[in-house]
Amino acid sequence: MHHSFRPKTKLTSLAPEPMRRSPLRRMLRWCGFVCIVGAAILIAGFLRFADSITTMQPPADPHADAIVVLTGGYQRIDQAVELLEKGAGKRLLISGAHPSTTATQIRKMTSGPANLFSCCVDIGYDAIDTIGNAEETSNWIRTKGYRRVLVVTNNYHMPRSLAELSYVNPDIEFVPYPVVNSDLRTRDWFVDSNAMRVMLAEYVKCLAAGLRNLTGFGRHSGLRSEGAVNDL
C-alpha cells in the first residue's frame, strides 16, 4: 500500500494583532477627559456660587467709616441713603452715576433730606463698569482716609464687586451689604429663565474677573477718561 507523504503544516492564528493607539487617538482621549473634568468643575463652581448668592444676607448691625453704593438700580441707592441716615457710615459715595444725573435728581428720587446730601453725599461720574467703580472708590478712599467701607450693591453683583475693590485696595476692609433680589430668594429660582440668565452671566463675569486680576491681562481703567480722578 502506498501512502503519500503530506508535510505537516503549521497552524497560524487568524486573529488580528491588537492595533496600537495612534498619538492622535490618545490625545483626543485625554482632551475628552480634560473637558469632562473641566465641565464638572465649572458646574460645581456655579452651584457653589449660586448657593452663596441666594443665601447672602446683610449684616444685622452694619457699621463702617463710610459707605459706597455701586449704581445699577435705584433700589441700591435708596438702601445706601437709608444706611447713611441711620449712621452706618459718616459719608456716602454714589459711584458710577450717569453724567447727566444731578445730585438734586438723586435726592428727589430717594426722598433723602437735603441737608444730608449737602453735607455727606459725594457723587462719582467717572466709573463706567465694576472695574471703574473700584478705581473711583479707591480715589475717594485715599482722599478721605477711610479704612473700613460698607459696600452696597445687589447680592448677585457682590462677589465680583468685592473682588475688584480688594484688588485695587488690598489694605481696606470692605463690608458687604447686599441688596437682596427677591427673584433669587425662592428655592426654585433656577426654573426662572431671567434669574438663571443673570446668575450665569454674573458667574462668567466673576471667572473672567478672577483670571484678569490674576494675570493682569485685559485690565482697563474702567473710567470715562484714562487716569481720571474725581474731586470728591
- pLDDT of 16: 54
Query: What is each CA distance from 76 to 18, 70, 122, 193, 196, in whole angstroms?
Result: 67, 8, 15, 23, 21
pLDDT digits 0-9 by tens, 106-136: 998 888 899 999 999 999 999 999 999 999 9
What pTM value is reported for the model? 0.80
Average pLDDT score, the chain: 85
Residue 153 near residue 121 (C-beta atoms within 8 A): no
8 Å CB contact between 94 and 127: no
| Sheet strand arrangement including 173-179 | 121-123, 92-95, 66-70, 148-154, 173-179
Domain ranges within the chain, ordered by starting residue: 66-178+188-215
Please name the fold of domain 66-178+188-215.
Rossmann fold (3.40.50)
Report the share of the chain in percent with pLDDT over 90.
Answer: 52
Instruction: With cut-offs at 50, 70 and 90, classify the pLDDT of residue 186.
Output: low
